[in-house]
Chains A and B, each alone.
Chain A
Amino acid sequence: MTNQGESANGVLLELQRVTKSFGGLTAVDNVSFSVRCGEIFGLIGPNGAGKSTIVSLVMGVYEPDSGEVLFQGKSLLKLKANQVVERGICRTFQVEKPLLNMTVTGNVLIGALLRTADHKEALEQSRGIIERVGLGKVGHVLAKNLTVQDRKRLELARALATRPTMILLDEVMAGLTPLEIDQSLRLLRKLREEGVTILIIEHVMRAIMNISDRIVVLDYGKKIAEGGPKEIAHNGAVVEAYLGKKGVRNG
């Protein structure tokens, strides 16, 4: 279903020494990491750490001041957002951007039309995706009338419709109940089984610790830790970043 064009060691997306400043503020400071094919890669850090900026840099919304972003071995730097999507990376938005006056099916259809100009084929694919994410009952509902959880599902469904090799999920768990979070995690695991590589930005620790194969932690634009969930959870610098030095002193 998806085509993986990984470089030799299985790396799909690679950031090399990426730096981005806005005026006097360095949002991303010399960050490097790689995401391997088929993994679920977590990106965490306190608010303002630069996580969403990294997503924007990958998607071509911003150009980095220095550094390189490689996908399947090729640079993404000069591409516009729609070209990045064509290459096979799709993002969801933290603040959902549904096409309000179109139905759920219409929304997903737009995504599917990227890969096939045939209306019927695109519609079939859309219906399949809508079922898989759990929106089967609301296909005909206008996007502006959806619940929060359904809006998030719609964001994901639309992204999936573009048949991405890799998805960047920007805080999809925010505002969900524990039950809903579990449902989402199950869905993400299924996606991984189907060969989609996932980069997930999250604040909901339970979710990201549960599902990530590897995690990178940012703080004030710098990478402060990288490793598996267990290592990260016990990493002093990480705890300090979230809770402050006082938190560490008090255990």
Chain B
Amino acid sequence: MSTSPQEHTRWTRYAPWILLALILIFPFIFPSRYLLRTMVNIFFFAALGCAWNIIGGYAGQLSLGHAAFMAMGAYPTALLLLGLNVPPWLGFIPGVFAAVIIAFLLGHMVFGLRGPYLALSTLAFGEIVRILLLHFRDQTGGSLGLTIPFKGTDAWKLQFASEQPYYFICLALLGLCLYVTYKVHGSRMGYYLQAIKENQDAAENLGIDLANNKVRALMISAALTAVLGGFYVAYFYYIDPDSVCGTDLSIKILLVAIIGGVGTVWGPIIGACILIPLTEISNYLFGSGRAGASLIIYAIILMIVVLFSPRGLIALLPGGERSYRHE
């Protein structure tokens, strides 16, 4: 916070590139499967956090059912792969279309609501999708889920025996989400979303079309989340309504963004870098009490952030405050 302007500029100029270089060579220096898996998890949740951030962070519309969009990407990908041997990098496309259309409809339905009522309606939306997935068990496999058999390395189907390819694919997806966030951040829509978040009445009286902007943000966010749902199928080989559509997942996604820094480009990455390793540590320490233990960790981190740095941990970094403000 008290770096001189020259030091500050040097740091912000070179640090990202150094970091990127390290990330790119990391899998070759540390080929440990476990470490690489953890890194993929970090990338994955950072990307999900970025996607959520567009509607939840920038626009300030708390979406508590975002996992549903991931399911909308995952299920078509899995079904097309299993039924028609369509590779995941094609199969996700119908999923994205579905997610965008449903985001459009959902947005127009619920964005008239404010505050807790909006949050509740998105929570209900997530649950409705999950229950529908359970209900149509003949098509979706219900609670038994869908298992993708691994038949040896097959690049066409994105099946790899080693972690490295997944590492780079997920990193690329994270790059995509960051790029989209960056474009939104610098665009007129980004400014408008921030205004909407700050004060909807003021925003409307400056000529901002509330519904349009919010719905478009949701559509972008849903599309990215659905793409990540497609990756989930290719990487984890198993989906079921709870793992890809559960409220736990929705909450984890938004935590990543909130802890790191809502309404910033890099915030979710920081959030994932904190949350994922801590989850791993808690799983290691508390063994069988797994699910409960990680939730306690999330709660503690969230409380710490809200008390000491409500705008996210990114605000604590040198130059972090600049991530929020425009002009």
Chain A interface residues toward B at CB < 8 A: 59, 80-83, 85-86, 90-91, 93, 97-103, 105-106, 109-111, 113-114, 117, 119, 123, 158, 161-162
Contacts and interface: CB of A to CB of B under 8 A. Distances in A.
B108 to A, nearest CB: 14
B325 A106 contact: yes
A105 B203 CA distance: 15
Interface in B171-224: 186, 188, 191-192, 194-195, 198-199, 201-210
A100 B198 contact: yes
Given A99-B195, A102-B198, A110-B195, A162 B206 contact: yes
A97 B208 contact: no
Which of B188, B194, B206 neighbours the largest number of chain A CB atoms within 10 Å of its CB?
A: B206
B13 interface: no
Contacts of B207: 82, 85-86, 111, 114, 162
B205 A103 contact: no
A100 B191 CA distance: 14
A83 to B, nearest CB: 8
A85 B186 CA distance: 24
Contacts of B191: 106, 109-110, 113
Contacts of A103: 325, 327
Contact of B205 (A90, A98, A101, A117): A90
Given A114-B207, A117-B188, A162-B207, A99 B325 contact: no
B324 interface: yes
B206 A114 contact: yes
A82 B202 contact: no
A132 B216 CA distance: 35
B202 A106 contact: no
B327 A97 contact: no
Nearest to B199: A97
Contacts of B195: 99, 102, 110
Contact of A99 (B199, B204, B209, B327): B199
Contacts of A161: 206
B289 to A, nearest CB: 40
Given A109-B326, A113-B188, A102 B206 contact: no
B90 to A, nearest CB: 35
Given A81-B204, A85-B204, 11 more contacts: A82-B208, A93-B205, A97-B202, A100-B198, A101-B324, A102-B198, A106-B191, A109-B327, A111-B207, A113-B192, A117-B188
Nearest to B200: A97
Given A97-B199, A99-B199, A111 B206 contact: yes
Which 4 residue pairs of A and B lie closest in terms of their CB atoms, listed nearest first? A85-B207, A97-B202, A114-B207, A99-B198
Interface residues of B, number: 22
Contacts of B203: 99, 110
Which of B202, B205, B210, B325 neighbours the largest number of chain A CB atoms within 10 Å of its CB?
A: B205
Contact of A85 (B188, B198, B205): B205
A82 B209 CA distance: 6
Nearest to A144: B198
Interface string B293-327: 00000000000000000000000000000001111
Contact of A80 (B201, B204, B326): B204
A110 B325 contact: no
A25 B194 CA distance: 37
B210 A123 contact: no
Contacts of A123: 327
Contacts of B194: 99, 102
A248 to B, nearest CB: 39
B296 to A, nearest CB: 31
Contact of B192 (A80, A110, A158, A162): A110
B326 A85 contact: no
Contacts of B325: 102-103, 106
Contacts of A110: 191-192, 195, 203, 206, 208
Interface string B217-244: 0000000000000000000000000000
Nearest to B263: A101
A90 B210 CA distance: 16
Given A99-B195, A109-B191, A113-B188, A85 B327 contact: no
A83 B192 CA distance: 15
Nearest to A117: B188
Contact of B202 (A86, A99, A101): A99
Nearest to A164: B207
